């Protein structure tokens, strides 16, 4: 497939062909693609489910993906956390310059170290200096997404943390979990109720009824897999999908819900939530990549709050966030271009190790960009997306 619109193809056919192409090149069991494009679909958008919810041995009937099938979204969760931060800031209850310690200690004294030198804004832009994964901590995001307080192990890690912000960009999962705990203290609900606050402030108002950390047992949930490849005589050979039969501690969502999320990014509502969404899209700066963040393909990263920003060849801002869960076996991506009134989300129930042998172009981001290129011939990125294998 090329970046030119297929002769005579309708927008629906473009998306359907892209979904089939994604499954053909990745060998993922299934996917669901949400597209909001005003030029093609008006305000309605399109959701295109394709393939199966799992593979034999995954503990669930192997049926077709629907627009309401639930997928893990991995690190796409981070832009929901930054949206909650935006709500608190726009409501006047917090500032991006507030220290994270001031919020973690609100009404309780649990942190007393260098976290007083790290701001909410630094956590939301991956410039806090915190590592990607913290040594010695496992399942550290579990209590956040279960509406539980931080465990003694997490508190001990916070209290032993002594690295000041280095002024460069270093992707940090523990940083965003820390931000999530802080954000729960900015709203009137008692305790540490992340999922409940998210429902009240973001997903509920946007009509995202099946987005959250907890999957209702009555919902159809995709089962994740690990896709395995090997290199053989200069070519890649697919070895099959192995079901994980496990779940990551993150948010889950559906094609229908991600369509609502895309629409809100491109046409934010005229209310507090809309102002919060607009804040997440404001450029917070362009930061050099720290030496330990060298897995990112570019030397610098432009950040909103949670969103990574690049441009197309016409200078239009392009917002992106990807996610992957090695534990659960899923990948996801959201990419949108406000100037084109176009955005795409791809949800997939396959995870592949980007550091292991694999063909080019099998990540969901390649399919999302392809759809935008097909719907808007001439669209091209000015440089590669500053993505990484953002897992768990």
| CATH code of the domain in which 48 resides | 3.40.710.10
**Would you state the pLDDT for residue 294?**
53
pLDDT attached to residue 314: 97
Q: For 314, phi and psi rounded to 5 degrees?
A: -95, 5
For residues 356 and 236, membership in a common domain is answered with yes
Band of pLDDT at residue 380, cut at 50, 70 and 90: very high
Domains in the chain: how many in total? 2
Distance CA 213, CA 360 (A): 31
The answer to the question of residue 212 being in a domain is no
Same domain for 182 and 229, yes or no, is no
Looking at residue 44, its pLDDT comes to 93
Q: How confident is the model at residue 61 (pLDDT cuts 50, 70, 90)?
A: confident
Pairing mode of beta strands 317-325, 308-311: antiparallel
Q: Note whether 149 and 103 are same-domain residues.
A: yes
pLDDT in tens, 188-213: 998 899 999 999 999 999 999 999 99
Cα end-to-end span (Å), the chain: 31
Q: Is residue 392 part of a domain?
A: no
User: Taking 80 as the threshold, does the pLDDT of residue 293 lie above it?
Assistant: no
56 and 114 together in one domain: no
164 and 298 share one domain: no
Residue pair 169/127 in contact (Cβ under 8 Å)? The answer is: yes
Could you tell me if residue 6 is inside a domain? no
Tell me how far apart the alpha carbons of residues 144 and 250 are, in angstroms, rounded to a whole number. Answer: 9
pLDDT band at 390 (very low <50, low <70, confident <90, very high): very low
239 and 100 fall within a common domain: no
> What is the mean predicted confidence (pLDDT) over 368-392?
82
Query: Which residues, at least 6 apart from 151, have a Cβ–Cβ distance to it below 8 Å?
Result: 140, 143
Q: Quick one: pLDDT at residue 387?
A: 57
Arithmetic mean of pLDDT over the chain: 92
DSSP 5: P
Number of C-beta neighbours around residue 234 at 10 A: 5
Can you say how many angstroms the Cα of residue 284 is from the centroid of all Cα atoms in its chain?
18
Q: Are 3 and 373 in contact (CB under 8 A)?
A: yes
pLDDT confidence of 183, banded at 50, 70, 90? very high
Q: Is residue 382 part of a domain?
A: no
Domain-embedded: residue 279: no
Average pLDDT over residues 45-72: 94
The pLDDT of residue 3 is: 44
- Given this model, what pLDDT does residue 163 score? 87
Q: Please check whether residue 309 lies inside any domain of the structure.
A: yes
Instruction: Tell how many helices (H) and how many strands (E) occur in the chain.
Output: 12, 12
> 31 vs 357, which has greater pLDDT?
31
Does residue 180 form part of some domain?
Answer: yes
Tell me the residue length of the chain: 392
Confidence of residue 317 (pLDDT cuts 50, 70, 90): very high
Answer yes or no: do 169 and 310 share one domain. no
Domain residue limits at 43:
11-73+218-268+286-375
Return all residues near 61 (Cβ < 8 A) that are at least 6 apart.
53
Three-state SS at 193: coil
- Mean pLDDT, range 306-329, rounded to an integer: 97
What proportions of the chain, in percent to the nearest 5, are helix, strand and coil? 30, 20, 45
- Note whether 68 and 172 are same-domain residues: no
The per-residue pLDDT for 233 is 85
* Alpha helices, H only, the chain: 11-26, 38-41, 77-90, 100-104, 120-124, 142-145, 152-160, 173-184, 194-198, 255-266, 272-281, 364-375
Q: Which residue has the tokens 């507030």?
A: 98
Q: Check pLDDT > 90 for residue 34.
A: yes
**Residue 45 has what pLDDT?**
97
Within 8 A by CB and 6+ apart from 316, the residues are 337, 338, 339, 340
pLDDT band for position 373 (cuts 50, 70, 90) = very high
pLDDT of res. 311: 97
Percent of the chain with pLDDT over 90: 83
Is there a domain that residue 391 lies in? no
Mark whether 239 and 336 lie in a shared domain: yes
Encoded tokens for 124: 């939301």
pLDDT value of position 391: 44
Is residue 43 located within the same domain as residue 62?
yes
Q: Is the separation of the CB atoms in 326 and 226 below 8 Å? A: yes
pLDDT digits (tens, 9 = 90+) for 91-124: 999 999 999 999 998 766 677 667 889 999 999 9
- Look at residue 296 in the predicted model and tell me its pLDDT: 62
- What percentage of residues in the chain have a pLDDT greater than 70? 93
pLDDT for 389 beyond 60 = no
309, pLDDT greater than 60: yes
Indicate the SS3 state at residue 178: helix
CA nearest 308: which of 76, 89, 37?
76
Q: How is 285-349 classified by DSSP, letter by letter?
A: EEEEBPGGGTTSSSSEEEESSS-EEEEBTTS-EEEEEEEEETTTTEEEEEEEEGGGTEEEEEEES
Residues 17 and 88 in one domain: no
Q: Are residues 236 and 105 in the same domain?
A: no
């Amino acid at each position: 497939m090329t970046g030119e619109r297929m002769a005579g193809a309708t927008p629906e056919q473009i998306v359907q062909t892209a979904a089939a192409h994604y499954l053909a090149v990745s060998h993922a069991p299934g996917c669901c693609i949400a597209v909001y494009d005003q030029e093609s679909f008006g305000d309605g958008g399109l959701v295109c489910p394709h393939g199966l919810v799992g593979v034999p041995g995954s503990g669930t009937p192997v049926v077709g993906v629907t627009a309401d099938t639930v997928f893990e979204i991995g690190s796409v969760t981070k832009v929901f956390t930054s949206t909650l931060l935006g709500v608190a800031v726009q409501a006047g209850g917090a500032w991006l310059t507030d220290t994270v310690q001031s919020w973690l200690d609100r009404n309780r004294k649990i942190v007393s170290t260098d976290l007083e030198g790290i701001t909410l804004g630094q956590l939301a832009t991956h410039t806090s200096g915190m590592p990607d994964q913290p040594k010695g901590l496992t399942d550290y995001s579990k209590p956040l997404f279960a509406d539980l307080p931080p465990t003694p192990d997490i508190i001990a890690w916070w209290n032993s943390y002594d690295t000041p912000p280095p002024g460069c960009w270093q992707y940090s999962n523990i940083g965003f979990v820390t931000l999530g705990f802080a954000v729960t203290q900015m709203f009137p609900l008692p305790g540490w109720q992340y999922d409940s606050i998210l429902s009240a402030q973001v997903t509920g108002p946007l009509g995202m009824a099946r987005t959250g950390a907890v999957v209702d047992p009555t919902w159809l949930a995709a089962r994740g897999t690990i896709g395995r490849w090997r290199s053989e005589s200069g070519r890649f050979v697919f070895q099959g999908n192995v079901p994980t039969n496990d779940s990551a501690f993150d948010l889950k969502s559906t094609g229908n819900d991600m369509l609502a999320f895309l629409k809100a990014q491109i046409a934010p509502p005229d209310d507090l939530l809309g102002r919060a969404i607009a804040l997440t899209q404001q450029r917070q700066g362009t930061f050099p990549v720290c030496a330990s963040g060298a897995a990112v393909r570019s030397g610098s990263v432009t950040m909103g709050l949670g969103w990574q920003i690049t441009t197309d060849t016409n200078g239009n801002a392009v917002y992106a966030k990807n996610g992957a869960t090695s534990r659960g076996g899923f990948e996801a991506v959201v990419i949108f271009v406000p100037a084109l009134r176009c955005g795409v989300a791809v949800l997939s129930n396959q995870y592949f190790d980007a550091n292991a042998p694999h063909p080019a172009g099998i990540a969901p981001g390649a399919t999302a960009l392809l759809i935008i290129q097909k719907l808007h011939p001439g669209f091209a990125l000015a440089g590669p997306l500053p993505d990484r294998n953002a897992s768990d």
